[in-house]
Each structure stands twice: as structure tokens, then as C-alpha cells.
Amino acid sequence: MAEAIAAYLHYLSIFLLFALLTLEHGLFKQPLDLQRARRLLRIDAAYGASAGLVLVSGAVRAVWFGKGLDYYLHNGLFHAKLGLFVLIGLLSILPTKLFLGWRGALKAGQLPQLSAPRGRLVTLVIRLELLLLLILPLLAALLARGFGVIG
């Protein structure tokens, strides 16, 4: 039963992560208004928290359930999957840094300033994150079926 609950929480956190990033993409449109800027700041914080949940629930599954930690540590696909997740996290720094920079203006009730080139860059990064997130389930499916074992 505990294994099923751990798997469920892991899947749920992944769905939440993808949903929040999709919502962030949909809301990040020019011209911004105060309400959307505030929502983007909150959604990005929730996105970061859900990424943490994905990592924690995945670690719980790898250590206590599934095929065991030894299997995962000796599997190239696991390393690729974890590396891809880290890359997505690094990419997410750009939008997060932008949104956090808006806090002062938003607290003062002012609309944050955003140049068109910066807006296009952030949109591109969010789209790249979404694209890379789509690869993770493929790696997970291959990993679960025994592919990628080193030696």
C-alpha cells in the first residue's frame, strides 16, 4: 500500500509541476497587468515547490520502493533523467529571477516593467522547459522496463 501511495504522490506532483508551468506560459503575455503579474509570482513559487515535491517523492520511491537504489544508481537512463530534471531547474531560474524582481513594484501597486526582448526570452525558456518535461516520462518508462543498465 505504501508503495502505491508513494507512486501516486510522485505522479501527482509531476502533473502539478506540468500544469503550473503550462499555466505560467498561458499567463505570461504582453502587455502585463497587475493581477496577472501577481498571479505569475505566486504560480512560479508553487512551481518551485512542486519541483521539490517531485524530487522528494522520487527519492522516496528510489530508496524505499521500486527496484531499489542500487538499480537506479547503475542505470544511465536514471542519470539522464535526473540530469534533464536539473537542466529544467536551471532554465527555470530565468523566469523566477524576473518574477522575483517584480516584488517591489507589485507591493507598491505598480506594474513591473518588461522589455519585449526579455519577454520573448522568458517565453522561449518556459516553452523549452515544457518541451524538456515531455521527455522525462519517456525516460521513466524506459528505465522501468530495464533499459539503460550500466555493465
Per-10-residue mean pLDDT, the chain, length 151 = 92 96 96 94 97 95 86 92 97 97 94 93 98 95 90 69
Q: Which residue has the cell 547503475?
A: 74
Give the global pTM: 0.91
Name residue, grid cell 515535491: 53
Give the list of residues 6+ apart from residue 115 with CB closer than 8 angstroms, or none. Answer: none
> What's residue 70's pLDDT?
87
pLDDT at 65: 86
- Supply the pLDDT for residue 20: 98
pLDDT at site 68: 82
Do the beta carbons of residue 7 and residue 86 sit within 8 Å? Answer: no
Q: Cβ distance 28 to 123 under 8 Å? A: yes
Q: Is 101 left (phi over 0), alpha (psi -120 to 50) or beta?
A: alpha
